[in-house]
Amino acid sequence: MAVVYIADQGALVCKKNDRLYVYKAQQLLRWFHTKDLAQLILVGNVALSTPTITYLLKHRIDTVFISYYGKYKGRLIGEFGKNVALRLAQFDYLAKETNREMLANIIVAAKIQNSIALLKKRKPKDDAKSIQATIIKNQAICDLLKKNTLPLSSIRGYEGIAAKNYFAVFPALIKNKDFPFNGRNKRPPKDEVNALLSLSYTFLMNQVMCAAYICGLDVYYGSLHEIDYGRQSLVLDLMEEFRPLADNMVFTLINRKEIRLEHFVYNVLNDEENPEYDPQNKLLPVSLANDGMRIIITAFNKLINTKIANQDPPGNWSLKDIFALQTRKLANHFENKKEYSPFVWL
């Protein structure tokens, strides 16, 4: 099943028979069949005709709206999942703090383990002492979490320490000197690397959220991330295991010089669709230009369709299929059918 991104600013998507057509100023840009379309992602100022909206709702094609700068805006949902029993099981399970602690422990340990896998894959052959030191420190945290069920406050604290260690060695993994990295920042991202990371995480969140909706889970009630108005806590929980794969994609784009400084724009004026700007001067420090957006969309689409070795169930699966597998495993866990086993990057 296909995932289609449309990022042509000012475009209009129209339906004719079993095809969707993308127009801009009455010029046809492209068209595609809807037969195998699983998800449509609209980036920025892209409009849908009324017949198109009706068709997407009728055929339950997940349609996602994000701002051009990577802010999730919403999605078309024709009908909420009918599996009330599953949501009741989810709420009943997560109402117990000991259950939330156990699940959060598993998720954070898997996230740290997968970030260690990235460091091992990316570690340069020479002058890698700082990376090796981080691997040792984070492995110790990971082992601690695997052996003990800790309070949520402690789990979040250890996750923060591991993340700080992890991002501290990013400069050693970036071979393109045009892309310095001085630590993780967001809302808004203040440099090119952080802009790429933030947008990649938004794409990742959308894919995981789609899998959670299809499975019938309530996306707002999770274990690791606290409940807050409008926060998709369960989705944020599930995507933690996959963040290192998005990081790896960003490293590849930068180190292979597939994305370059010319693909970014700087200090553009904020527009109505993007609330995450510098509140003092209302400027966005750095964001992707049109060509840069096309590059990262292509790279992410390739990533989610890449076959990856998986432990449970064993075999080579596309990443988007693994998203579905993990959400189903979590649903089974909530229904007391099976212990939750996280995704482990081999």
How sure is the predictor about 36, in pLDDT bands with cuts at 50, 70 and 90? confident
Question: Domain 84-107+171-334 belongs to what architecture?
Answer: Up-down Bundle (1.20)
pLDDT tens profile 263-314: 988 876 555 444 454 555 556 678 888 889 889 999 999 999 999 988 888 8
**Per-residue model confidence (pLDDT) at position 68:** 73
- Which residue did the predictor score with more confidence, 252 or 2? 252
User: Residue written as tokens 């709206």?
Assistant: 65
Highest mean pLDDT (candidates 1-5, 27-31, 300-304, 336-340): 300-304
* 85-94 average pLDDT score: 94
pLDDT at 275: 47
Q: What is the mean pLDDT of residues 232-255?
A: 96
61-75, 100-114, 131-145, 323-337: lowest mean pLDDT where? Answer: 61-75
Q: What mean pLDDT do residues 191-217 have?
A: 91
What would the pLDDT profile of 170-179 be if each residue is shown by its tens digit?
Answer: 999 999 999 9
Residue 238: closest CA among 162, 336, 333: 333
**C-alpha closest to that of 286 among 203, 198, 183, 195:** 195
How confident is the model at residue 280, as a pLDDT? 54
Distance, in Å, from the CA atom of 169 to the CA atom of 182, rounded to the nearest integer, reads: 10
Mean pLDDT of the chain: 88
pTM of the predicted model as reported, rounded to 2 decimal places: 0.86
Q: Environment class of residue 90 by beta-carbon count within 10 Å: exposed (0-12), middle (13-18) or buried (19+)?
A: buried
Residue 38 CB: number of other CB atoms within 10 A?
14
What was the pLDDT predicted at 225?
Answer: 92
Give the alpha-carbon dihedral of 164, 165, 168, 174, to 10 degrees.
Answer: -120
| 3-state secondary structure string across 268-292 | EECCCCCCCCCCCCCEEEEEECHHH
- Distance CA(306)–CA(63), nearest Å, equals 22
> Would you say residue 26 has pLDDT above 60?
yes
Where exactly are the structural domains of the chain?
Answer: 2-66, 84-107+171-334
Q: Could you tell me which CATH class the domain 2-66 is placed in?
A: alpha beta
Q: How far apart are CA 182 and CA 291, in angstroms?
A: 25
pLDDT of residue 273: 47
Distance (Å, whole) CA 92 – CA 86:
10
Minimum mean pLDDT range among 58-67, 298-307, 320-329? 58-67
Q: Which tokens in the block code for residue 334? A: 């909530």
Strand pairing of 2-6 and 307-310? unpaired
Task: Give start and end residues of each alpha helix (H) in 123-242.
Answer: 129-147, 152-168, 170-173, 192-215, 233-239
In degrees, to the nearest 5, what angle opens at C-alpha 157 toward C-alphas 183 and 194?
20
Confidence of residue 317 (pLDDT cuts 50, 70, 90): very high
Residue of higher predicted confidence among 154 and 229 = 154
Which pLDDT does position 149 carry in this prediction?
86
Q: What is the mean pLDDT of residues 12-39?
A: 88
Q: For residue 217, which of 60, 88, 61, 38 has the smallest C-alpha distance? A: 88
Q: What is the pLDDT of residues 63-74, one digit of tens each?
A: 888 877 667 788
CB 110 within 8 A of CB 133: no
Q: Report d(CA 177, CA 111) in Å as an integer.
A: 28
State the CB neighbour count (10 A cutoff) for residue 21. 16
Lowest mean pLDDT among 119-133, 143-157, 320-334: 119-133
Cα→Cα distances 34→15, 19, 52, 60, 61, Å: 9, 6, 11, 11, 9
